[in-house]
């Protein structure tokens, strides 16, 4: 296989890994609420849902390791705690959300079945596939994503050329930041940290590519996948905005179904719903399998640990997955406000040259990010550990805190200062060596 063909195949695989079915419902509703400000929310959404995840893939291409390597420069124990948190969040939120999405798109409109029973059946099947590692999923995935992409492009193209009323005014105070924060809900930055290692391993197992070849090919594959993601996301955001003056909805799934029905009719929408349900299922199996594999590795390849983790992941899926997509999205906000800034910082550091990312820089910037993420986390969780007036006064002195991005400026300042300190130390050491 030529390198060019391998790049295209890997790009398609990355697109499939990132473009989970849950991502379908976020962009249209974001555009619907943004109205005339849709362009800037699309840019913001692309930053957190396309650029940062693709940077994670490039970071893996440089590190050529596992997810633990993203945080090892802080310390091995921090890398372990961070990895455990990421996997715990993954099985508790995005995995159950796939069941909710499947229910709202493919079951509720057509069948009389409760969300609880659907979740039980759904995650029972997930458990069967996780324990047996059935290869049918790879076959489904090979043909599933192209079909979804084709249908979505039809929905976007047909929808953008229909007659609509004037676009409504944006509901957001800051459209760019609102787009960035909504991009958190895709979990794609976390996905990039998790699945990037899988891509690296798949290249390494082939045994015919050197480090530099793997690095270049993975980077190019990531760029191609990112372009595809941006086209779909921007199209769906624009479509939601185009319809913002013509329709009235209060639910993400309802809007997606309405847009699809307008463009494709009832039969086309039903077909898309079936494809989305299958895509949801493959995503859930992938998350639970990845988490069980991680725990298995921690416990020295214990098969018992794998089975217990898979069972626990599916039980959590049933308990959380019976709720609506909107409820799970709201519940996810506090966790994302805490884990996403740390993930973004680790991704940024992973792609920068080594001379700017010493262990000191990693530790200082991550500590600063954690500290300044706490007010945003506490505000979204409505914690009363600190009196509200005190919390508000703290947030008032943190730039961008009202936009839930209070960690950004401290990260940049600490990054610069820690690098200047490192340069000063190196110069002092050089002078001492010359004087000796």
Domain boundary among 281, 313, 340: 340
**Strand, helix or coil at 302?**
coil
In the predicted structure, residue 385 carries a pLDDT above the cut 60: no
Residues 72 and 189 in one domain: yes
Of 114-128, 264-278, 338-352, least confident by mean pLDDT is 264-278
Which positions ≥6 away from 248 have C-beta within 8 Å? none
Residue 419 lies in a domain: yes
The number of folded domains in the chain is 2
Helical ranges in 167-251 per DSSP H: 175-184, 188-206, 211-242
Residue 180 lies in a domain: yes
> Same domain for 105 and 183?
yes
Residues 435 and 334 in one domain: no
Query: Are the C-beta atoms of 370 and 434 separated by less than 8 Å?
Result: no
346 in a structural domain: no
Q: Please check whether residues 420 and 294 belong to one and the same domain.
A: no
In a domain, 112, yes or no: yes
Let me know whether 324 and 368 are in one domain.
no
**Chain segment 110-131, per-residue pLDDT in tens:** 888 999 999 999 999 999 988 8
Residues 283 and 414 in one domain: no
Does residue 273 belong to any structural domain of this protein? Answer: yes
CATH assignment at residue 218 = 1.20.1740.10
Q: Which of 273, 394, 320, 348 is nearest to 97 (CA)?
A: 320
Using CA atoms, how far residue 87 sits from 93, 193, 270, 288, 305, in Å, is: 10, 11, 33, 9, 15
pLDDT one-digit tens code per residue, 169-210: 888 888 999 999 999 988 888 888 887 766 766 666 566 667
CA 75 from centre of chain: 24
Cα 408 to Cα 99, 123, 127, distances in angstroms:
34, 38, 40
pLDDT of residue 384: 54
5-14, 34-43, 183-192, 204-213 — which is least confidently predicted? Answer: 204-213
pLDDT digits (tens, 9 = 90+) for 203-235: 665 666 676 777 788 888 888 888 989 999 999
Give yes or no: residues 320 and 398 share one domain.
no
- Which pLDDT tens digit goes with each residue over 156-169? 888 888 777 778 88
296 and 362 in a single domain? The answer is no
Higher-confidence position of 349 and 200: 349
Q: Which domain holds residue 116?
A: 3-340
């Amino acid at each position: 296989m030529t390198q060019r063909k391998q790049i295209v195949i890997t790009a398609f695989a990355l697109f499939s890994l990132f473009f989970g079915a849950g991502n379908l419902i976020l962009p249209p509703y974001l555009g619907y609420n943004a109205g005339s400000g849709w362009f800037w929310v699309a840019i913001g959404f692309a930053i957190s849902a396309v650029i940062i995840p693709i940077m994670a893939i490039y970071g893996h291409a440089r590190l050529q390791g596992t997810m633990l390597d993203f945080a090892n420069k802080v310390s091995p124990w921090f890398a372990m705690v961070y990895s455990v948190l990421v996997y715990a969040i993954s099985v508790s939120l995005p995995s159950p959300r796939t069941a909710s999405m499947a229910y709202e798109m493919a079951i509720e409109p057509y069948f009389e079945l409760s969300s609880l029973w659907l979740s039980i059946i759904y995650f029972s099947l997930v458990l069967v596939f996780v324990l047996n590692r059935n290869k049918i999923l790879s076959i489904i995935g090979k043909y599933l994503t192209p079909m979804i992409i084709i249908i979505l492009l039809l929905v976007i193209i047909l929808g953008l050329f229909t007659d609509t009323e004037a676009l409504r005014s944006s509901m957001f105070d800051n459209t760019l930041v609102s787009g960035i924060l909504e991009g958190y809900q895709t979990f794609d930055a976390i996905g990039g940290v998790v699945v990037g290692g899988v891509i690296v391993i798949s290249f390494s197992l082939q045994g015919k590519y050197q480090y530099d070849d793997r690095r270049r090919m993975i980077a190019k594959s990531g760029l191609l996948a990112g372009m595809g993601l941006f086209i779909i996301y921007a199209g769906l955001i624009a479509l939601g905005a185009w319809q913002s003056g013509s329709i009235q909805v209060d639910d993400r799934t309802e809007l997606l179904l309405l847009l699809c029905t307008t463009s494709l009719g009832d039969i086309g929408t039903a077909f898309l719903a079936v494809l989305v349900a299958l895509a949801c299922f493959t995503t859930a199996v992938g998350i639970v399998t990845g988490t069980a594999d991680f725990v298995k590795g921690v416990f020295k390849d214990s098969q018992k640990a794998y089975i217990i983790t898979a069972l626990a992941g599916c039980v959590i899926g049933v308990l959380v997955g019976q709720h609506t997509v909107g409820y799970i999205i709201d519940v996810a906000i506090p966790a994302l406000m805490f884990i996403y800034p740390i993930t973004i910082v680790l991704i940024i550091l992973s792609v920068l040259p080594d001379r700017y990312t010493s262990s000191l820089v990693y530790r200082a910037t991550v500590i600063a990010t954690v500290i300044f993420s706490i007010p945003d986390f506490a505000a979204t969780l409505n914690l009363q550990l600190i009196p509200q007036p005190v919390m508000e006064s703290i947030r008032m002195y943190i730039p961008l805190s009202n936009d839930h991005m209070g960690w950004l400026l401290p990260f940049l300042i600490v990054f610069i200062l820690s690098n200047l300190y490192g340069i000063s130390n190196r110069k002092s050491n050089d002078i001492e060596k010359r004087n000796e």
